[in-house]
Structure 1
């Protein structure tokens, strides 16, 4: 009997290669992983003109050769791993466009902030959906929740110029299966990202990790729409600091009621925020750039989960409603 042929090397595509996606894809390519970036606009042109991604960071600057295309159809067929790095509110449009990248076993790493479309997959209530993140069911139809691998991204990055990304290494990445198992595909994705130089932690409760990050995103980001202030200014202010603390306490209450208690205390999370200084939240950066704001997955979906869990969350509801009205008045919804 002849020996079995070795498994083919995995192919990866990054859908929505902005700052974080470009960094992840370039690092994978630099580590020898067959990687394609799906980007657009001036950033795509910069990537092509340079022959790759220019990465700027604490250790200097380098250009990493990596393939960049405008559409998934140009990626050369299905891949084994798709890193979905588009903003959560862009996923309704982007999900159907990913079809050329998918085969029956493709893993879709959901690298968005906030509550994801697959939230109820692997639970006792798999048929439930969240209107805030997938109102028409378009995302679930294009990306069946069974293909999703949950992730939480703790990396800082911004587009410094077309084709160039300013990177700020932070805590790294957390990966977990929606059903809490430790699977071969989880290990595959984790090992690829570790090979690319990212710290990766595996978890059996990815929802608790999502709620832990939401302690910041659903408080700091929403408040930054109202105050237009940096993190340090808001948490240290005598007026807004207590509001942020109340928001974080309500998020922990929702998480506990949903069965996924967070791993940090409110005091610990505020201390982390203070250490970040007066950094601007990603939502404030989008507001200042005139981009659509990521309020559905960070605000509306959390309010929806509060309703499901029977949690009052009055501060969250008031802050989200005010931020939403502000965004609509600016044409950013």
Structure 2
């Protein structure tokens, strides 16, 4: 089994590096300066047990790789980039006949819950993965992952539901690389729980703060999200079950030498990419709210504000918590 990591950034690079350390067959897919650095210097991955440089095959797109029947495609791009990636990879031929979309398993290792639906239009064999993996894209070619004793927990299952031998085989490969990968029949229930947690991403991205100062905003965004999921009849894992399953498997030790990085949305703003995943996090709650008659002023405001920051390339963390709170309060009052 060969793992093709489509989007070898913070999460993809961490997964790819850990798989490589375990002797698994890995190909990294990256673009621009990151691609150039990976080709020239290798992937430099720092974890609590040290820094390693992995000299792995790296390509900048599907045209540069001959796909094999034993390939597993791990989609690790942000959801706003999913459609382009899925279109590019699904029609690629596989050695021996057929296309990737017809034959190969595709795992959506991403935040949000939309990519699986996008993928299922193009791939027959789609798997959902709930990614709990604290990681940071430091600079081109360099990634850090601070979780210990395991680097991440990746609940995995077929989409829309169920398990099979392929999911079990993928998980077995992942678990050789310090990555817990429980195979579950309800992976989307885990992903909706992660969606609720990710509603805070926009708060951190625009204010630069996650802590006591923003707890009330996080509470309001999460409570609104839970109300919407309940109204839509969508199941999600509760805090108690999450705590029970995770236990102490993934903790952050400041003494490890790995700095705690900001979240994925903050990283998008800090790199000036011009895009952010808020449409598929806070925007998912706004969409479901409109479909089911629930007002979502908090998440509407967070989505709009984060998108404005990305579009105008405003600096991550350049809005005060008070300013963001005022915007949300005004939107709530206007309802």
TM-score range, shorter chain: 0.7 to 0.9
1:113 aligns to what?
111
**Native 8 Å contact 1:78 1:103 kept in 2:** no
Identify unmatched segments of 5+ residues in structure 2: 95-99, 255-259, 316-335
2:262 pairs, out of 280, 302, 314, with 280
2:216 pairs, out of 227, 234, 242, with 242
1:33 pairs, out of 20, 24, 31, with 24
CA distance in 1, matches of 2:223, 2:189: 14
> Secondary structure at 1:55's aligned position in 2?
strand
1:149 aligns to what?
127
Deviations 1:148-201 (A, max 9, x none): 100111112223343222222254211122232121121111111112221112
**How many residues matched?**
288
2:81 aligns to what?
90
1:163 pairs, out of 136, 141, 151, with 141
* Pair 250,151 (structure 1): closer, same or farther in 2 beyond 3 Å: same
CA distance in 1, matches of 2:25, 2:205: 39
1:45 aligns to what?
36
CA distance in 2, matches of 1:205, 1:110: 14
Determine if the alignment matches structure 1 residue 206 to structure 2 residue 191: no
**Native 8 Å contact 1:171 1:199 kept in 2:** yes
**Native 8 Å contact 1:28 1:192 kept in 2:** yes
> Secondary structure at 1:252's aligned position in 2?
helix
1:185 aligns to what?
166
Identify unmatched segments of 5+ residues in structure 1: 1-9, 120-133
Deviates further, 163-172 or 284-293: 163-172
* Pair 171,103 (structure 1): closer, same or farther in 2 beyond 3 Å: closer
* Pair 87,148 (structure 1): closer, same or farther in 2 beyond 3 Å: same
- TM-score scaled by structure 2? 0.76
**Native 8 Å contact 1:40 1:70 kept in 2:** yes
**Native 8 Å contact 1:258 1:309 kept in 2:** no
CA distance in 1, matches of 2:263, 2:142: 20
CA distance in 1, matches of 2:17, 2:306: 35
2:331 aligns to what?
none
- Compute the displacement of 1:260 (Å): 0.7
* Pair 316,161 (structure 1): closer, same or farther in 2 beyond 3 Å: closer
CA distance in 2, matches of 1:38, 1:285: 19
CA distance in 2, matches of 1:164, 1:326: 25
* Pair 41,203 (structure 1): closer, same or farther in 2 beyond 3 Å: same
2:196 pairs, out of 167, 191, 215, with 215
2:50 pairs, out of 52, 57, 60, with 60
CA distance in 2, matches of 1:313, 1:69: 41
Coordinate RMSD, CA, aligned: 2.7
**Native 8 Å contact 1:230 1:280 kept in 2:** no
2:236 aligns to what?
261
Determine if the alignment matches structure 1 residue 307 to structure 2 residue 307: no
- Compute the displacement of 1:22 (Å): 1.9
- Compute the displacement of 1:13 (Å): 0.8
| Structure 1 runs of 4+ with >6 Å offset | 275-278
* Pair 148,48 (structure 1): closer, same or farther in 2 beyond 3 Å: same
**Native 8 Å contact 2:109 2:130 kept in 1:** yes
